[in-house]
Amino acid sequence: MQYENLKIEITDGIAVITISREKALNALNSQTMLELRYFFSEAGLKIPGLKGVVLTGAGEKAFVAGADITEFSGLDAAQGAAFARRGQDIFFLIEHFHLPVVAAVNGFALGGGCELAMACHLRVAGEKARFGQPEVNLGLIPGYGGTQRLVQYIGKGKALELLMTADMIGAEEAHRLGLANCVVPAGEEVAKAKEIIEKTSAKAPVAISKIIECVNACFEPGTDGFAKEVEAFGQCCNTEDFREGASAFVEKRKANFQGR
């Protein structure tokens, strides 16, 4: 697939994906969503030596200011449900990606943009970042997982408040509530996200992927997260990385993990 709305740069094993629709405040239209699906289901799985992914938005105003309302303003109930399901399926791909995906939130993360940030494993907020789910202002609710993930991150009471009032919160409050992992000066979001990925890349790759699987299992209906943890622990015990990590610990040296 040829990317129209995503700019992808890979440096030192870190893929920086920039959603590049600056004039539209990087709103998520169908083409952008197709490109995200392609990267996280196909292209991103084939990049040799990939350590992780950073997602950000073009310009200084917005990470992603929402979904493109012109594409769903005339949908009926069945079409609307299908539209939301497609979006959720794409965001599930991000949430379940086997390597860390870090959102570098450099401005407005509203509606679908807030939902995209929440689908990432971690969120670095620039000091000018603003988060919100303003869908009720349009007579809608979030459709890409916002009603579920926001509760997971900040709790039921505060999530209900933000969802029903459509209030925006700044970077510091997002950090205090647990929505953002850290806050950095404006313009340093991508650098901090890369720093985090460099740190995780020094750990055992198989263990990192299993951490992602197990934490996600905690919120999957019908999945026993504790049983998933037991299974994943056993699988890690059977890896070369575990043997290398144990040897390195005993020998008091830095482990040289190979992802096997």
Of 124, 114, 157, 137, the residue nearest 26 (C-alpha)? 114
Which residue of the set 9, 22, 95, 115 is catalytic? 115
Of 137, 134, 139, 138, the residue nearest 150 (C-alpha)? 134
115 among known catalytic residues: yes
Q: CB count, 10 Å around CB of 82?
A: 11
Alpha-carbon separation of residue 216 from 105, 120, 174, 182, 186 (angstroms) = 22, 11, 21, 21, 30
DSSP, collapsed to helix, strand or coil, labels residue 11 as strand
- CB-neighbour burial class of residue 99 (10 A; exposed 0-12, middle 13-18, buried 19+): buried
135 among known catalytic residues: yes
Residue 64 has phi, psi (to 5 degrees) of -150, 120
Which residue of the set 35, 135, 189, 213 is catalytic? 135
Q: How many CA atoms lie within 13 A of 101 on its CB side?
A: 24
Active site residues: 115, 135
